[in-house]
Amino acid sequence: MILAPKERFRETPEATSWRIAVSSSWFQDGLTTALTHMVMTSAPTANDPAAAASAFNRIEGAKALVQTMMNLAESPPPSSKPLPQNLKPV
């Protein structure tokens, strides 16, 4: 059995509500404000490379979370990359 929570979520009625919520201006304004606040309050000093790396990783994690949230109810786009010559489509 393959665990596929995103595919399961897309089939629920909540997926439609989620699409409406994430496309609304109030959600996007709140998300933008939260991200801006996070960046402004976690700015490391330039003389501490470890703190700078930690802050960078937190921001990258936040970006990944936003990307996941915004596309949670969406179907993945079809792959347009050609298969390598040693593979055949199934």
What pTM does this model have?
A: 0.72
DSSP 6-64: HHHHHTSHHHHHHHHHHHSHHHHHHHHHHHHHHHHHSPPPTT-HHHHHHHHHHHHHHHH
The model's pLDDT over 9-66, given as tens digits with 9 standing for 90+, comes to 999 999 999 999 999 999 999 999 999 998 888 766 668 888 888 888 998 999 999 9
Q: What letter represents residue 5's amino acid?
A: P
Contact at 8 Å (CB) between 90 and 27? Answer: no
